[in-house]
């Protein structure tokens, strides 16, 4: 009998009247069934969170800190089983999934420590007035999580939310539900009261839509496409609820003539191969000064030629995309490229004769039209496009020439240029002579324009999951 992944609400597993299949993207086979939660299940989860919040918001930072750190211990204990679930669901190489599990634990530990030193302010008005601010939790926070980094995205939203006294309801992605349920169960084992962390599995148009529209949620976080993010924001706006959107990206590397060309090429290749390019902050465009263009392109192609492709559990360099649907989408962009020279890949891959998987070869296309869809739209695949520039101004114009503004990187030995361009590039994060797709737990993360708004990660996330109350006392 096939295993069924059930929701986890109010401290216990909850089934559903219907299920759907969880498919392994490495071979197209069914991993098991998933409870197809809907509006009623979201109602139950939100109600459980609201009941729990009556007492949870009154707990001390010390109490919450202890529980978050205890959960971090349990996640670290279970890194291997969590990584295996993550690798099977997403297709990503096992070593990458293992890192995701460790980072998941790191989020809970970071916010477990941070909450101990999170304070309001004393405001100096005049001698006879005592004015101060309090940071208070919103109440019930909803989290709609994408399928590319299920463990990290779960912790990225839930850890700061519960650390500040909120209770959470999580809707994991349709394709990758299992680790969210597993971490919620570990939270219960750690001693979190029932209802503080809830997970409802199901389909986006059903459970996801119900959570985004639910009047019982006081704050909503969404990670996913710009199109769906706009719908989520509209739904939240109808009930005047704050929302945090982390959406798409079309991030660019700017490689100048004085750069460490080998390092720039190696890092750019590695960043687009991470999680098969299914990373909102993947550096999918490489803009190269004309004097070193040929060398950079040759080196990237050389790195791509050495890539091993296979099942995530076999820990290759590149695993499958998350689904055959995503594979078709990626192939469509490559087939419609128009101008540009295909230097590597460009086709579906079938490692070891696997015909049911969702693999796509690492692809390098040089000289694409900056206005073409492949250079403008988020692809979410191992597709790297390269373009030339002659001047610094041209490089910045190309970097800022999309609707997205999430990340950027500047490769140069000129310190003045590095700081100048860090200010001119429109992005939420800018790297100089390095690149971190998503960055660390400590670094505030988010974008501008169609990349979304609000900031997650770092201490700034504590501000996002609280509201400021000002108190003024006449002495």
Q: Is residue 307 part of a domain?
A: yes
Would the pLDDT of 211 be above 60? Answer: yes
273-311: pLDDT as tens digits: 999 989 888 999 999 999 999 999 999 999 999 999 999
Q: Which two tokens stand for residue 9?
A: 């609400």
More confident residue, 319 or 119: 319
Give the pLDDT of residue 437. 67
pLDDT tens-place string over residues 15-24 = 888 999 999 9
Residue-wise pLDDT tens digits, 410-420: 999 999 999 99
pLDDT, averaged across the chain: 93
Dist CA 149 CA 238 (whole Å): 29
Structural domain includes residue 118? yes
Indicate if 275 and 323 belong to the same structural domain: yes
* Catalytic residue list contains 394: no
Is residue 396 domain-shared with residue 458, that is, in the same domain?
no
Q: Do 199 and 270 reside in the same domain of the chain? A: no
pLDDT for the residue 354: 84
Q: How far apart are CA 401 and CA 112, in angstroms?
A: 40
- Whole-number pLDDT of residue 338: 81
Q: Examine the domain organization and report whether 165 and 270 are in the same domain.
A: no
Q: Is the pLDDT of residue 91 over 70?
A: yes
- Residue 161 falls within a domain, yes or no? yes
CATH at 129: 3.40.605.10
CA 28/CA 36 separation, integer angstroms: 20
Give the per-residue pLDDT at 226.
87
Query: Per-residue pLDDT averaged across 208-221, rounded?
Result: 94
Q: What is the pLDDT of residue 136?
A: 94
**Same-domain status, 84 and 220:** yes
Clarify whether residues 272 and 299 are in a common domain. Answer: yes
Is the pLDDT at 404 greater than 60? The verdict is yes
pLDDT higher than 90, residue 13: yes
Same domain, 283 and 353: yes
State the CATH number of the domain containing residue 262.
3.40.309.10
Residue 139 lies in a domain: yes
Verify that 398 and 419 share a domain, yes or no: yes
* Tens-place pLDDT, residues 179-204: 999 999 999 999 999 999 999 999 99
Instruction: Identify whether residues 36 and 170 lie together within a single domain.
Output: yes
pLDDT at 137: 96
Do 72 and 17 share a domain, yes or no? yes
Q: Tell me: do 392 and 321 sit in the same domain.
A: yes
> What's the number of domains the chain is made of?
2
Q: Give dist(CA 2, CA 23) in Å, integer.
A: 12
Catalytic residue among 88, 175, 206, 246: 246
Model confidence band, residue 1 (pLDDT cutoffs 50, 70, 90): very low
Q: Which residues contact 126 (CB under 8 A, 6 or more apart)?
A: none
Residue 38's pLDDT band (cuts 50, 70, 90): very high
Residue 175 lies in a domain: yes
Percent pLDDT > 90 in the chain is 83
- pLDDT exceeds 70 at position 438: no
Could you tell me if residue 446 is inside a domain?
no
pLDDT digits (tens, 9 = 90+) for 227-269: 888 888 898 888 888 999 999 899 999 999 999 999 999 999 9
Q: Is residue 343 part of a domain?
A: yes
Residue 150 lies in a domain: yes
- In this prediction, residue 2 carries a pLDDT of 57
Tens digit of pLDDT for each residue in 141-178?
999 999 999 999 999 999 999 999 999 999 999 999 99
Residue 220 and residue 286 in one domain: no
For residue range 42-64, list pLDDT tens digits in order: 999 999 999 999 999 999 999 99
423 pLDDT exceeds 90? yes
Full domain range(s) for residue 64:
4-247+451-474
């Amino acid at each position: 009998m096939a295993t069924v992944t059930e929701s986890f609400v109010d401290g216990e597993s909850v089934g559903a009247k219907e299920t759907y299949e969880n498919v392994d993207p490495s071979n197209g086979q069914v991993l098991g069934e998933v409870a197809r939660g809907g509006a009623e299940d979201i109602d139950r989860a939100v109600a459980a969170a609201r009941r729990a919040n009556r007492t949870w918001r009154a707990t001390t930072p010390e109490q919450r800190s202890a529980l978050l750190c205890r959960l971090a211990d349990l996640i670290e204990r279970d890194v291997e089983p969590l990584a295996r679930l993550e690798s099977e669901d997403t297709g990503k190489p096992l070593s990458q999934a293992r890192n995701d599990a460790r980072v998941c634990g790191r989020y809970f530990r970071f916010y477990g420590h941070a909450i101990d030193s999170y304070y309001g302010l004393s405001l100096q008005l005049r001698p006879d007035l005592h004015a101060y601010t309090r940071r208070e939790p919103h109440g019930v926070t909803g989290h709609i999580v994408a399928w590319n980094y299920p463990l990290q995205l779960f912790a990225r939203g839930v850890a700061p939310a519960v650390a500040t006294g909120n209770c959470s309801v999580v809707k994991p992605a349709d394709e990758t539900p299992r680790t969210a349920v597993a971490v919620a169960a570990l939270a219960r084992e750690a001693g979190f009261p029932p209802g503080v962390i809830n997970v409802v599995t199901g389909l986006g148009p059903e459970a996801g839509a119900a959570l985004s529209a639910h009047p019982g949620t006081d704050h909503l976080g969404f990670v996913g496409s710009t199109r769906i993010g706009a719908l989520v924001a509209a739904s939240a706006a109808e009930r005047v609820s704050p929302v945090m959107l982390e959406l798409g990206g079309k991030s660019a590397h700017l490689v100048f003539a004085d750069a460490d060309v080998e390092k720039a090429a190696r890092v750019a290749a590695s960043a687009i191969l991470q999680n098969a390019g299914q990373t909102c902050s993947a550096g999918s465009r490489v803009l190269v000064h004309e004097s070193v263009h040929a060398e950079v392109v040759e080196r990237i192609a050389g790195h791509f030629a050495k890539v091993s492709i296979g099942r995530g559990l076999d820990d290759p360099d590149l695993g499958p995309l998350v689904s055959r649907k995503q594979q078709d989408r990626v192939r469509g962009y490559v087939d419609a490229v128009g101008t540009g020279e295909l230097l590597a890949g460009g086709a579906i891959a079938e490692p070891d004769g696997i015909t049911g998987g969702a693999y796509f070869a690492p692809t390098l296309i040089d000289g694409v039209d900056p206005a073409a869809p492949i250079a403008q739209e988020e692809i979410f695949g191992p597709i790297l496009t390269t373009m030339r520039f002659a001047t610094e101004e041209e490089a910045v114009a190309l970097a800022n020439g999309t609707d997205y503004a999430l990340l950027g990187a500047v490769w140069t030995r000129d310190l003045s240029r590095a700081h100048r361009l860090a200010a001119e590039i429109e992005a939420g994060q800018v790297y100089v002579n390095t690149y971190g797709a998503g960055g660390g737990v400590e670094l505030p993360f988010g974008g501008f324009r169609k990349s979304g708004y609000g900031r997650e990660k770092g201490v700034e996330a504590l501000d996002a999951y609280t509201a400021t109350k000002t108190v003024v006392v006449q002495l």
